[in-house]
């Protein structure tokens, strides 16, 4: 590895260890020659990293005595504390569990401490109760991992009144408009269209869509009528019976409705587009029950980028919303709050709206091309 790369890696590693408390305040490092030998690096690389840490007031180097982790005090090393409001007690399907690792890593890098709390606890708090909590715990910023705000929730007004920076993570554009908080999000609607167009390029024209039940009958933020129009424009079968609506992650209902479609369809669907990667195992089991091969008979496409998808057999293609990047970007935006947050001039500064990219992850569950449509219509 290039010498500069080694310096940067060592610096980041030592900084993280200091911030996390692996090296406690006042800890004395071994002499340079011994420490360099322990770490398997040159003394020049070590000295460069130590110098950067000293400039940032994380280390104190005392002549004839050694190198020490700086004692904690506000003037030399300020630990900012962020309150993370999410559904921490929810099941593992919730995106907050996959956003947090990226947030934690970037928080270590930026020198933030995170205080995680279930948002349901705060929903009925008054402005004064929240203010007392923030002051009592030294909170300097708030991250809300949630979506689907109506606008009449007490928590919006109560949090906004605290006059500290607030960032909405994994919300939708509508949530950004309603709350007027900075937002870090992924364009789910565009990601869903990308998945459909990808399956069309592979020759699929009869596609089952799995979906959650919403009062407005949306399909991954697509109004149902617009979604059916999209399918028609791509010459995909827009039969609404191919859209499977179920309660959130009701796998038994999904299995029952999928089974019904495959038993009753005169023309077998050639692809299933899952609302979430977490539905894919159920889809795989149903196809196995019908002795249908993936992807030769029926392709399966996921959505969201759950880490287990690549371990499925065959590995699951998906639209990866890159949740960890959303978490990382959230902390970056918070670290730059001095540029955009000023409660006295809130009418003159637009809260940042950061759209994070998604990625089409093609794997074996879809990696075949079909020619029926092309040959039938040639």
Q: Are 196 and 274 within one domain?
A: yes
User: Of 69, 97, 122, at which residue does a domain stop?
Assistant: 69
Q: Are 160 and 88 within one domain?
A: yes
Q: Note the pLDDT of residue 71.
A: 67
Range of the domain at 22: 3-69
Q: Are 242 and 368 within one domain?
A: yes
Question: Mean pLDDT throughout 10-38?
Answer: 82
Task: Examine residue 234 and state whether it is found in any structural domain, yes or no.
Answer: yes
Per-residue pLDDT at 2 exceeds 70: no
**pLDDT tens digits, one per residue of 224-237:** 999 999 999 999 99
Task: Examine residue 44 and state whether it is found in any structural domain, yes or no.
Answer: yes
Q: Note the pLDDT of residue 77.
A: 44
Question: Mean pLDDT throughout 133-152?
Answer: 91
Task: Examine residue 74 and state whether it is found in any structural domain, yes or no.
Answer: no
Residues 6 or more apart whose CB falls under 8 angstroms from that of 336 comprise none
Q: Are 231 and 367 within one domain?
A: yes
pTM of the model: 0.78
CATH no. for residue 63? 1.10.10.10
Q: Are 311 and 240 within one domain?
A: yes
The two tokens of residue 114 are 């995170």
Question: Mean pLDDT throughout 155-166?
Answer: 92
Q: Note the pLDDT of residue 109.
A: 81
**CA separation (Å) from 57 to 19, 48, 69, 80?**
12, 15, 9, 15
Q: Note the pLDDT of residue 76.
A: 40
Task: Flag the least confident range among 62-71, 168-177, 293-302.
Answer: 62-71
Q: Are 259 and 159 within one domain?
A: no
Per-residue pLDDT at 346 exceeds 70: no
Mean per-residue pLDDT over the chain, rounded: 89
The model's confidence at residue 6, banded by pLDDT at 50, 70 and 90, is: low
Task: Examine residue 218 and state whether it is found in any structural domain, yes or no.
Answer: yes
Determine how β-strand 66-69 pairs with β-strand 59-62. antiparallel
Per-residue pLDDT at 211 exceeds 80: yes
Please state, as a whole number, how many other Cβ atoms lie within 10 Å of the Cβ of residue 348: 7
Q: Are 16 and 162 within one domain?
A: no
Task: Examine residue 134 and state whether it is found in any structural domain, yes or no.
Answer: yes
Q: Note the pLDDT of residue 79.
A: 58
Q: How many domains does the chain have?
A: 3
Q: Are 145 and 192 within one domain?
A: no
189, 355 in Cβ contact below 8 A?
Answer: no
**pLDDT tens digits, one per residue of 26-81:** 788 999 898 888 888 888 888 888 888 888 778 888 777 788 887 654 434 445 88
Per-residue pLDDT at 9 exceeds 70: yes
Q: Are 295 and 160 within one domain?
A: no
Q: Are 203 and 170 within one domain?
A: no
Task: Examine residue 292 and state whether it is found in any structural domain, yes or no.
Answer: yes
CATH no. for residue 146? 3.40.50.2300
The model's confidence at residue 215, banded by pLDDT at 50, 70 and 90, is: confident
Per-residue pLDDT at 373 exceeds 60: yes
User: Of 69, 101, 127, at which residue does a domain stop?
Assistant: 69
**pLDDT tens digits, one per residue of 111-131:** 888 888 889 888 888 899 999
Task: Examine residue 303 and state whether it is found in any structural domain, yes or no.
Answer: yes
**Higher-confidence position of 259 and 215:** 259
Q: Are 311 and 192 within one domain?
A: yes
Residue listed under structure tokens 């028609």? 232
Task: Examine residue 75 and state whether it is found in any structural domain, yes or no.
Answer: no
Q: Note the pLDDT of residue 187.
A: 95
219 strand-pairing partners:
222
Q: Are 122 and 219 within one domain?
A: no
Per-residue pLDDT at 344 exceeds 90: no
């Amino acid at each position: 590895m290039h010498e500069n790369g080694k310096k940067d890696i060592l610096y980041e590693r030592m900084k993280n260890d200091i911030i996390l408390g692996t090296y406690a305040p006042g800890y004395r490092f071994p002499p340079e020659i011994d420490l360099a030998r322990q770490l398997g690096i040159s003394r020049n690389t070590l000295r460069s990293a130590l110098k950067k840490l000293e400039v940032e007031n994380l280390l104190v180097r005392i002549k004839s005595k050694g190198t020490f982790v700086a004692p904690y005090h506000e003037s030399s090393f300020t630990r900012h504390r962020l309150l993370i409001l999410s559904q921490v007690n929810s099941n593992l399907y919730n995106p907050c569990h996959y956003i947090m690792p990226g947030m934690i890593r970037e928080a270590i890098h930026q020198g933030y401490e995170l205080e995680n709390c279930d948002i349901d606890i705060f929903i009925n708090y008054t402005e004064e109760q929240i203010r007392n909590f923030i002051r009592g715990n030294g909170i300097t910023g708030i991250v809300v991992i949630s979506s689907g705000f109506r606008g009449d929730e007490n928590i919006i007004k109560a949090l906004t009144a605290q006059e500290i920076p607030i960032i909405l993570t994994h919300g939708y554009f509508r949530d950004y408009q309603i709350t007027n908080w900075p937002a870090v999000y992924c364009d789910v609607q565009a990601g869903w269209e990308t998945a459909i167009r990808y399956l069309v390029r592979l020759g699929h024209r009869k596609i089952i869509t799995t979906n959650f039940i919403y009062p407005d009958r949306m399909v991954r933020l697509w109004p149902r009528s617009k979604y059916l129009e999209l399918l028609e424009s791509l010459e995909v079968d827009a039969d609404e019976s191919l859209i499977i609506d179920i309660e959130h992650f009701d796998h038994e209902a999904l299995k029952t409705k999928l089974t019904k479609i495959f038993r009753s369809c005169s023309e077998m669907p050639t692809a299933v587009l899952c609302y979430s990667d977490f539905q894919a195992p159920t889809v795989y089991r149903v196809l196995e029950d019908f002795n249908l091969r993936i992807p030769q008979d029926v392709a399966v496409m996921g959505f969201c980028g759950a880490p287990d998808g690549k371990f499925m057999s065959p590995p699951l293609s998906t639209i990866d919303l890159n949740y960890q990047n959303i978490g990382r970007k959230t902390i970056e935006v918070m670290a730059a709050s001095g540029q955009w947050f000023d409660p006295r001039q809130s009418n003159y500064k637009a809260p940042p709206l950061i759209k994070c990219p998604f990625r089409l992850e093609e794997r074996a569950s879809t990696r075949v091309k079909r020619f029926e449509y092309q040959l039938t219509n040639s």
